[in-house]
Amino acid sequence: MIKLNFIKLIKKNMTIGNNKPFFEILRAGINTTIQDKGRNNLYHLGVTMSGAVDQKNFKLSNLILNNLIDEPVVEFAFQGPLLKLHNGKIGVCITGDVIFDIIRNNDLIEQGQCYQNYIINDGDQLDIKSTKNSLYGYLSVKNGFEVEKIWGSSSINTKANIGPNEGKKFSINQKIYLNNELNSDFKIRQLRYKNNFHKNIRVIKGTNFDYFSEKAKNIFFNENFMVTSLVDRMGIRLKGPKLENIISTNIKSEGLVKGVIQVPADGNPIMMLADHGTIGGYPKIATIISADLDNVSQLPPNTEITFQEVNL
């Protein structure tokens, strides 16, 4: 009840829309949401950080447009949205490993390139077809989207229904408003950047590392694990040799952070991502180092990975 009242209060005090530019959603894509750097310091309230799962590509999309680095963006998974611009001219940038076209108002189709900004005119369509060898892509606009902040962030958490759009992913026929039309001093910029999604994941030992047998420890650091189809913003389930727990698969619930690797009763690890729960009762065998978290979030199903121990 408190959360719902808080959201309504914010919406009441904001003026969204008017004659500003907006995207009409002609195709919603898969799990299309607004994300930013996330919510800090709310774990004690049971609110996870959320935010863009790939923080590097989120920030790059804003840097190329010369936006504030934490300006909210549109995040999409696998298939992106089809968007039509109304009421003006804007600048956009898409980052990630993404296939997209710009369909001009005169029906001319322009194949887009990631890490470059483009001018989109009234009536043009942005067709974000799909990611290629990764999961997530990011769309930023010059001067940002006009979205409310809830608890210090515009990130949408669909599991908890927190954030703009009532905490839900976008759907067809909705509108996404932009802050301002493009200024005359907008310059085309391109960044020569190539994603390198490596498959050797660096970790430190988890707080429950000694709950596992010596055999399980050796398996964890020396065998391959497969990314399954069970992937989302909460986490990634892996499949591989069973990791045997010699204490218990159900322990006293403890706090979780992004990057923790839990091992449930079936012995297959789960890597926690941006929308992870704030507590968990499965043993934690390791934690992914922060430098590898963006990489991990982009690993598609059927990717084989290994774990490498590093020290702080």
How is residue 75 written in tokens? 């995040």
Burial of 192 (0-12, 13-18, 19+ CB in 10 A): exposed
Catalogue all structural domains in the chain, each as residue range(s) with its CATH number.
2-177 (no CATH), 200-309 (2.40.100.10)
What pLDDT score was predicted for residue 312?
79
For residues 197 and 190, give the distance between their C-alpha atoms in angstroms, rounded to a whole number: 21
For residues 209 and 109, give the distance between their C-alpha atoms in angstroms, rounded to a whole number: 54
Mean pLDDT of 248-264: 88
How is residue 96 written in tokens? 């990630």
pTM to 2 decimal places: 0.90
- Residue-averaged pLDDT of the chain: 90
Is residue 64 predicted with pLDDT exceeding 60?
Answer: yes
What pLDDT score was predicted for residue 18?
66
How is residue 197 written in tokens? 């999604």
pLDDT in tens, 76-99: 999 999 999 999 999 999 999 999
Mean pLDDT of 146-169: 94
Is residue 6 predicted with pLDDT exceeding 60?
Answer: no
What pLDDT score was predicted for residue 249?
66
pLDDT in tens, 20-34: 899 999 999 999 999
Using alpha carbons, select from 260, 282, 263, 280 the residue that is nearest to residue 271: 260
